[in-house]
Amino acid sequence: MTPMGAALKGVLMMWMLEIPPFVPFFIGALIAIFTRGALRGAIMLATPILSGLHLWGMPEGIHLQFAFLDYQLLPYRVDKLSLIFGYVFHIAALIAIVYSLHVRDTMQQVASMLYAGSGLGAVFAGDLLTLFIFWECLAFTSVFLIWARRTEKSYAAGLRYLITHVLSGVILLVGALFYVAEHDTLKFDYIGLDGIAGWLIFIAFGVKCAFPMAHNWLTDAYPEATVTGTVFLSAFTTKVAVYALARGYPGTELLIYIGAAMTCFPIFFAVIENDLRRVLAYSLINQVGFMVVGIGIGTALALNGAISHAFNDVIFKGLLFMSMGAVLHMTGRINGSDLGGLYKTMPKTTVLCIIGAASISAFPLFSGFVSKSMVMSAALENGHDWIWLMLLFASAGVFHHAGIKIPYFAFFAHDSGIRANDPPNNMVLAMTIAAGLCIAIGIYPSALYSLLPYDTGYNPYDATHVLAQTQLLFFSALAFVWLNLKGKYPPELRSTNLDFDWIYRRAVPNVLQKTFSIIWKVDGALRKGFLVRLDRCLDFIAQKNGGISNLLSRTYPAGSMVMWVAVILAAYLFLSFIR
Amino acid sequence: MLTHLPILQVIVPLLAAPLCIFLRRPPLVWLFTLIVSSLAFVISILLLQQVMASGTIVYELGGWDAPWGIEYRIDALNAFLLLIITAISTVVLLAAQTSISKEIPKEKHMLFYTLYLLSLTGMLGIVATGDAFNVFVFLEISSLSAYALIALGKDRRALWASFQYLIMGTIGATFILIGIGLMYQMTGTLNMEDLSTRLPEVAQTRTVFVSFAFVIVGICLKLALFPLHLWLPNAYTYAPSIVTAFFAATATKVAIYLLIRFSFSVFGLSFSFTTLPLQILFMVLGLSGIFVASIAAIYQTNIKTLFAYSSIAQIGYMIVGFSVSTVTGLTATLLHVFNHALMKGALFLALGAVMYRIGSVQLSQFQGLGRQMPLTMAAIVIGGLSLIGVPLTVGFVSKWYLLMALIEQGWWPVAVLIVLGSLLAVVYVWRLVEIAYFKPQLVGKESVKEAPLSFLIPIWILVMANIYFGIDTRLSVQVAQAAAQSLFGVSP
């Protein structure tokens, strides 16, 4: 570091106390409630900048400690792993805030600040209880970004999203509880899969990380959120989960298989999906899959790959969501079948979207390339050949649906006749920043590498990597062109594609309903028969003695209460006598 | 003066009660009652300080020695309960005048305060005394005034609810009396300390078994343990708001105290838990209480009934903690006694504020209240979060201890059930939040304003306490632990 930089750092440390990064965001949100218009925008912009500067001056170590009950709480632990997520969350927050500067909606703006703050709180949490608190905060703040669309559909999707995440939090809490019982500490470090605590926490992380079959909240809710809300959402929730997995479960073999599944299955859904933001939601799962594989392999190279890929993914996935958001914002449509030919009137958005698409597809000289190849190399180095092949297939698939399909159907394809202009300046600026970062990281990866937790001396730009990746991209592009020319490419249709959530949102309830209706019928018949008999009995007794029927009919609630008293007393007496 | 604190704690509100009749003018009576209750609160703080500093305080009434005369014993447990009762009573009284001005006819105001003080006296007396028969006397004082207080409710069904409570309460008290009588027959003493030394000599007799069963059932009735809870929802629903807030936060806690006192001190730990399979019995009843009452709460349309059912569920948590019968378990129960008083006090007072402004606490009437009464609704939300057991609120602390106690014993299926039970609380709190914040306000209710300060101040005192004691747990945990340890005979 230059003397200049060191001096600046020193000054920063002097006037900055040890404030965890979530604090400025929460304060910013509070001020945002009481301000309006441009002032609010300025405050929201200033928050990530100031907080980011502060974080940059922060040395590693544990900065805050509290005693709670009998345990130490560490709400602010700074090490390389949490720092890199802290940096990228600040960048993402800044970009997303610039992107949403035109929004005038208190609920959405405040929620987004709180949400970003919660994400930061979670990655700097040094103990499981603090983590749990921010885990739930993430759920409760982000859901407002979905509800802010203010449609029936978004309300329902938001509620499903909220339930899933609250449940994940509860599982985390129970896991933490067992963890305390087993280890007598709440510190959040390597956890591992031995013991019930490890599994519970693993499941909690997995739900937030969109593991297969627990992924539906993501594809369900993200496309229903507001234009700007989705940009925020794509940055934080799943990345917090990736961070948590990298902290608690590096080198867990199970993660390799889960991750590989995550990279592959969304491709099929993404190819047939019509809503372009939902396509991106599927590709988000696919990208997270690469990170999960990296964490599962657990070597220094693999972890570096996973983390740097998370870093890049926040930016390029943000860029793609922003460009699709821009399309939705300007045209009011987002289905591939309704769009096309927009490049004529939205040239800037088109170019920026293509940069994002190139990054996610891992073109050399774009950011995706420098991180994804690390995970793939690590898979190969550790003898996971089949996994490597799956990842290769997934890479081709990504290029297909995110790299080509998104820009092609939105901006080219058949001309839909829509003549929408480029979006407002702030949106273009936000996308430009993101695109600039994508290219900068792609060209000069060592800046990113220096932030990573391990030093592996990895160089992405050697002949094998570049050649292999270029070939892959070239051939999948060829496949797309060929399929399209032959008319065999799945056309963009208005349809609802069934995913796994159909099982628990339709199939299971239907089966249950049917079963129960049968049970009710049988039960009803039985009861009727029984009641008739009982009535006869009662009538018979009533004839003999009117008093008894009166007693049995139990019309007096006080009487039934007293009966319970008698029952309980009798039971107690009986139990104490048989001893 | 300081040596007479134990008796002053009880006698001050007792003597003040009839004086209310002479003062007549409602604001004056209110002020007087408030001062008396604050005085009791100060006394309880002094007592707690004394107990924590120098151990159990023994006070002999009229200078008669213990087994013959009546003795007041204050140890950590008693002092803790006294503090809870007087604190809640004082805070609730802050809002009383405003609230009853709309719910009770003016000419009955002084009677209301008289009854309130008598009821307070009764509860304090039950906790302070060290004499088993004295317990019964104070139980009757507090119960009789409670029946009358509930009957003061605006709704005519209050009479019916009060009558039911009267029947059940009387049965409960009678059972306790029968139990005490049988104990007296076997040992010839009524002093609790004395009983605890003499009962073991005759422990293996039917009479003692029967006496134990009667006492326990009587107390279970008073504390509304499932399935003996049927009187509670109606009584809480139709009573005046202030009365509900006061009773929900204190009355059942006193019964929990009695349960602990009788089973741990008087009969002794080994007798109580071997005569009856109390552990499994209370575990099952407590858990069924949690689930049955929580599910019942979900279906209520009257919010007071909803929270009344939730009270029954919360009692379930206390009983589960009790049934673990370890120091940690008992600590959890005592913590929950303290914490639940804070949450239910806040919630029912906030409902009182809603009642004051719209004259109803039906769920449908809450539409749009999130915007019209933001501070009151925020209090309900925080109280609700505390009920669920969200971190940074008191509810979390006691649930945490409860779960630790269960896991310590390896009863983790029960721990899972407890967590599931908390999820039910999410559902019934959410129903209220959804209506209040996501529905447009009702036509014709546009002019509803935020509650007056006389409501907001006590409500937010309690809400702040909910948060403060959720973060700084020193006071509550220390005292609860000290009380639990002394009951188990472990020196702290």
**Hey, where are the domains in chain B?**
277-492
- What share of chain A in percent tops pLDDT 70? 91
8 A C-beta contact, residue B423 and residue B350: no
From chain B residues 123-142, the ones with a CB under 8 A of any chain A CB are none
Asked if B175 reaches chain A (Cβ–Cβ under 8 Å), the answer is yes
Q: State the smallest CA–CA distance between residue A127 and chain B in angstroms.
A: 14
Domains in chain A, number: 3
Q: State the smallest CA–CA distance between residue A550 and chain B in angstroms.
A: 19
Domain boundary among A465, A498, A531: A498
Q: Do A568 and B212 touch (CB under 8 A)?
A: no
Q: Give A196's contacts in chain B (Cβ within 8 Å).
A: 412
Q: What is the pLDDT of residues A108-145, one digit of tens each?
A: 999 999 999 999 999 999 899 899 999 999 999 999 99
A9 in a structural domain? no
- What share of chain A in percent tops pLDDT 90? 30
In the structure, what pLDDT confidence band is assigned to residue A9 with cuts at 50, 70 and 90? Answer: low
- CA–CA dist A199, A115 (Å, integer): 27
- CA–CA dist B139, B177 (Å, integer): 10
Q: Do B407 and A178 touch (CB under 8 A)?
A: yes
A325 in a structural domain? yes
8 A C-beta contact, residue B12 and residue B36: yes
A422 in a structural domain? yes
DSSP string, A74-143: EEEEE-HHHHHHHHHHHHHHHHHHHHTTT---HHHHHHHHHHHHHHHHHHT--BHHHHHHHHHHHHHHHH
pLDDT for A2: 54
Residue B175 in tokens? 């059972």
8 A C-beta contact, residue B174 and residue B140: no
On the question of pLDDT at A550 being above 70, the answer is no
Taking alpha carbons only, the member of A282, A308, A314, A124 closest to residue A210 is A282
pLDDT for A16: 54
Q: Do B275 and A576 touch (CB under 8 A)?
A: yes
Q: What is the mean pLDDT of residues A31-35?
A: 88
A170 in a structural domain? yes
Q: What are phi and psi of B191, to 5 degrees?
A: -75, 130
Q: What is the mean pLDDT of chain B?
A: 89
Q: State the smallest CA–CA distance between residue A574 and chain B in angstroms.
A: 9
Same domain, A115 and A256: no
- CA–CA dist B243, B372 (Å, integer): 25
From chain B residues 421-480, the ones with a CB under 8 A of any chain A CB are 422-423, 426, 438, 471, 473, 477
β pairing state of A71-78 and A61-68: antiparallel
Q: Out of B231, B276, B403, whose CB is closest to A561? A: B231
Q: Which amino acid is at B30?
A: W
Q: Tell me: ipTM over 0.90.
A: no
In the structure, what pLDDT confidence band is assigned to residue A340 with cuts at 50, 70 and 90? Answer: confident
Same domain, A454 and A561: no
Same domain, A283 and A399: yes
**A170: three-class secondary structure by DSSP:** helix
A176 in a structural domain? yes
pLDDT for B112: 92
CA angle B261, B263, B266 (to 5 degrees): 65
Q: Out of B209, B281, B419, whose CB is closest to A577? A: B209
Look up residue B154 and give its DSSP letter: S
Q: What is the mean pLDDT of residues A199-219?
A: 90
Q: What is the mean pLDDT of residues B117-144?
A: 93
Look up residue A504 and give its DSSP letter: I
pLDDT for A548: 41
- CA–CA dist B384, B390 (Å, integer): 9
Domain boundary among A231, A249, A267: A249
Residue indicated by tokens 């036509």: B443
From chain B residues 272-291, the ones with a CB under 8 A of any chain A CB are 274-277, 281
pLDDT for A10: 54
Q: What is the pLDDT of residues B251-276, one digit of tens each?
A: 999 999 999 999 988 888 888 888 77
Q: Do B209 and A136 touch (CB under 8 A)?
A: no
Q: Give A565's contacts in chain B (Cβ within 8 Å).
A: 168, 171-172, 175, 217, 221, 228
Q: What is the mean pLDDT of residues A228-232?
A: 92
Q: Give B403's contacts in chain A (Cβ within 8 Å).
A: 177
Q: Give B397's contacts in chain A (Cβ within 8 Å).
A: 69
On the question of pLDDT at A544 being above 50, the answer is yes
Same domain, A180 and A120: yes
pLDDT for A531: 77
Q: Give A573's contacts in chain B (Cβ within 8 Å).
A: 209-210, 213
Taking alpha carbons only, the member of B9, B64, B76 closest to residue B261 is B76
On the question of pLDDT at A425 being above 80, the answer is yes
On the question of pLDDT at A223 being above 80, the answer is yes
Taking alpha carbons only, the member of B158, B123, B153, B159 closest to residue B138 is B123
**A73: three-class secondary structure by DSSP:** strand
Angle A347-360/A367-381 helices, nearest 10 degrees? 10
Same domain, A305 and A228: no
Q: Do B213 and A170 touch (CB under 8 A)?
A: no
- CA–CA dist A139, A146 (Å, integer): 11
Q: Give B274's contacts in chain A (Cβ within 8 Å).
A: 579
Q: State the smallest CA–CA distance between residue B27 and chain A in angstroms.
A: 38
- Whether cis (ω within 30° of 0) applies to the bond prior to B227 is yes
Same domain, A287 and A415: yes
Percent helix, strand, coil in chain B (nearest 5)?
A: 80, 5, 15
- Domain carrying residue A567: 510-578
Same domain, A240 and A334: no
Query: Element (H or E) spanning B104, and its range?
Result: none
Q: What is the pLDDT of residues A54-74, one digit of tens each?
A: 888 788 877 777 777 778 888
Residue B342 in tokens? 């804070």
pLDDT for A557: 67
- CA–CA dist B102, A347 (Å, integer): 68
Same domain, A455 and A549: no
Taking alpha carbons only, the member of A558, A559, A569 closest to residue B234 is A558
On the question of pLDDT at B445 being above 80, the answer is no
Closest-approach residue (CA) in chain B for A129 = B391
Same domain, A438 and A472: yes
Q: Do A173 and B473 touch (CB under 8 A)?
A: no
- CA–CA dist A320, A359 (Å, integer): 10
- CA–CA dist B482, B492 (Å, integer): 6
Same domain, A244 and A203: yes
Q: What are phi and psi of A215, to 5 degrees?
A: -95, -5
Give residues with Cβ within 8 angstroms of A296, minimum separation 6.
Answer: A251, A252, A253, A254, A255, A256, A257, A258, A259, A302
Phi-psi region of A456 (alpha: psi -120 to 50; beta: other; left: phi over 0): alpha
Cα distances (angstroms) measured from residue B208 to each of A273, A386, A490, B277, B429? 75, 74, 83, 16, 44
Same domain, A245 and A266: no
Q: State the smallest CA–CA distance between residue A62 and chain B in angstroms.
A: 21
Same domain, A539 and A431: no
Q: Do B213 and A573 touch (CB under 8 A)?
A: yes
A370 in a structural domain? yes
Least confident of A230-244, A480-494, B437-451: A480-494
In the structure, what pLDDT confidence band is assigned to residue A248 with cuts at 50, 70 and 90? Answer: very high
Domain boundary among A464, A498, A532: A498
A36 in a structural domain? yes
- CA–CA dist B110, B26 (Å, integer): 6
- CA–CA dist A56, A81 (Å, integer): 14
In the structure, what pLDDT confidence band is assigned to residue A17 with cuts at 50, 70 and 90? Answer: low
In the structure, what pLDDT confidence band is assigned to residue B91 with cuts at 50, 70 and 90? Answer: very high
N- to C-terminal Cα separation, chain A:
80
Cα distances (angstroms) measured from residue B130 to each of A573, B85, B123, B195? 27, 18, 14, 10
Q: Give A569's contacts in chain B (Cβ within 8 Å).
A: 175, 213-214, 217
- CA–CA dist B361, B367 (Å, integer): 11
On the question of pLDDT at B36 being above 50, the answer is yes
